[in-house]
């Protein structure tokens, strides 16, 4: 799988243009990319930290970096929603295929904003939508068709933020400026359907979800996946396209920081006359409404991120 992901990592790094001596953060680094490629680009006087929630991933990334003798890279087990770094620790933050699986991607974007220096920038790669991310949808389609939703009736997909402008909006809501979005398609290669299934089921978080299903559901998912793959068979194996979104943004000149003494903030929601929840407002405790996030909230929201009740709460 890592071989198939490489071109997306190159596109991401080309967009953020890492410089020698920069301090970089790779969020949800998994087995260590793009952190290791970044480390080669910033050189021995730069610094790269890759973080991941999974201790096993961090151990694997550390082992591979040491085998490859890559200097200036370090891996740490850490929740991206609550980073253990002081403010303004990095010049550049990247994440390859992390944002669409975070439970709270908004919190990760806010944390990234906090740990970036004043001229800092961010680059994020995520999968596009179902119809454009064929290589992923060949298995996710059958999962959506046959798997049991959780108790909220919700089935997470890897396309959470892949719609037009969605990732840019999320970054802007966290305070970032100059958000831009581009799309890139690469062709993934697999020897045959068995190779595809082994790669996805054994080597990605999707496999974990499939293995949680009853054996007969698992059988149906895999049979339908094989059917879907027929369309992409060639004489040289399976060749299947997959589009990704690359979003970039910068801190900008007018960074807004919470007042000293803590990040005390009240969040209020405004309801339009129709009853629809329109905007979220953030009030810093030092007084006044310092920031208005024009992040539209759907009245129903996603069950994973339930709709706020009208009013205010402390955070």
Integer Cα distance of 184 and 189 in angstroms: 16
Minimum distance, C-beta of residue 46 to ligand SAM, in the bound complex (Å): 19
Residues within the interface to ligand SAM (CB under 6 A) = 5, 28-30, 33, 51-54, 57, 79-81, 96-98, 101-102
Minimum distance, C-beta of residue 54 to ligand SAM, in the bound complex (Å): 4
Q: Are 79 and 108 in contact (CB under 8 A)?
A: no
* Bond prior to 158 in cis (omega within 30° of 0): no
Minimum distance, C-beta of residue 230 to ligand SAM, in the bound complex (Å): 26
Q: Are 47 and 15 in contact (CB under 8 A)?
A: no
Q: Are 89 and 62 in contact (CB under 8 A)?
A: no
**Nearer CB in complex with ligand SAM: 118/203:** 203
**Nearer CB in complex with ligand SAM: 8/277:** 8
Q: Are 83 and 16 in contact (CB under 8 A)?
A: no
For residue 289, count CB atoms less than 10 angstroms from its CB and return exposed for 0-12, middle for 13-18, buried for 19 or more.
exposed
Minimum distance, C-beta of residue 166 to ligand SAM, in the bound complex (Å): 18
**Nearer CB in complex with ligand SAM: 244/251:** 244
Instruction: Report the candidate in 229, 204, 108, 83 with the shortest Cα–Cα distance to residue 161.
Output: 108
Integer Cα distance of 251 and 115 in angstroms: 10
**Nearer CB in complex with ligand SAM: 137/277:** 137
Integer Cα distance of 24 and 51 in angstroms: 11
Taking CB atoms, the residue at the shortest distance from ligand SAM is 30
**Nearer CB in complex with ligand SAM: 101/282:** 101
Minimum distance, C-beta of residue 153 to ligand SAM, in the bound complex (Å): 22
Minimum distance, C-beta of residue 12 to ligand SAM, in the bound complex (Å): 9
The token pair that represents 174 in the structure block: 């966290």
**Nearer CB in complex with ligand SAM: 80/173:** 80
């Amino acid at each position: 799988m890592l071989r198939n992901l490489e071109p997306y990592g190159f596109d991401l790094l080309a967009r953020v243009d890492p410089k020698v001596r920069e301090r970089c953060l790779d969020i949800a680094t998994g087995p260590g990319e793009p952190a290791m490629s970044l480390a080669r680009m910033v050189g021995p006087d730069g610094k790269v930290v890759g973080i991941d929630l999974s201790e096993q991933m961090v151990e694997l990334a550390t082992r591979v970096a040491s085998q490859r003798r890559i200097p200036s890279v370090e891996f740490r087990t850490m929740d991206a929603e609550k980073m253990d770094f002081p403010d303004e620790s990095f010049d550049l933050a990247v994440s390859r295929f992390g944002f669409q699986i975070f439970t709270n991607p908004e919190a990760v974007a806010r944390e990234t904003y906090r740990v970036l220096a004043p001229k800092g920038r961010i680059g994020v790669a995520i999968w596009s939508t179902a119809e454009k991310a064929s290589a992923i949808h060949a298995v996710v389609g059958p999962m959506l068709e046959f798997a049991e939703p959780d108790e909220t009736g919700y089935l997470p997909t890897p396309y959470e933020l892949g719609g037009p402008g969605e990732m840019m909006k999320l970054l802007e809501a966290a305070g970032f400026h100059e958000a831009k979005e581009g799309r890139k398609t690469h062709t993934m290669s697999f020897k045959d359907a068995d190779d595809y299934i082994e790669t996805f089921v054994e080597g990605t978080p999707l496999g974990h979800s499939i293995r949680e299903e009853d054996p007969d559901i698992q059988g149906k998912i895999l049979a339908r996946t094989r059917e879907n793959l027929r369309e992409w068979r060639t004489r040289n194996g399976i060749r299947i396209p997959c589009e990704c979104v690359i979003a970039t943004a910068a801190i900008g000149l007018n960074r807004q920081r919470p007042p000293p003494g803590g990040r005390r903030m009240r969040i209020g929601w405004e309801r339009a006359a129709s009853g629809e929840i329109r905007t979220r407002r953030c009030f810093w405790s030092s007084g006044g409404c310092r920031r208005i996030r024009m992040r539209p909230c759907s009245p129903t929201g996603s069950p994973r991120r339930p709709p706020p009740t009208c009013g205010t709460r402390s955070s």
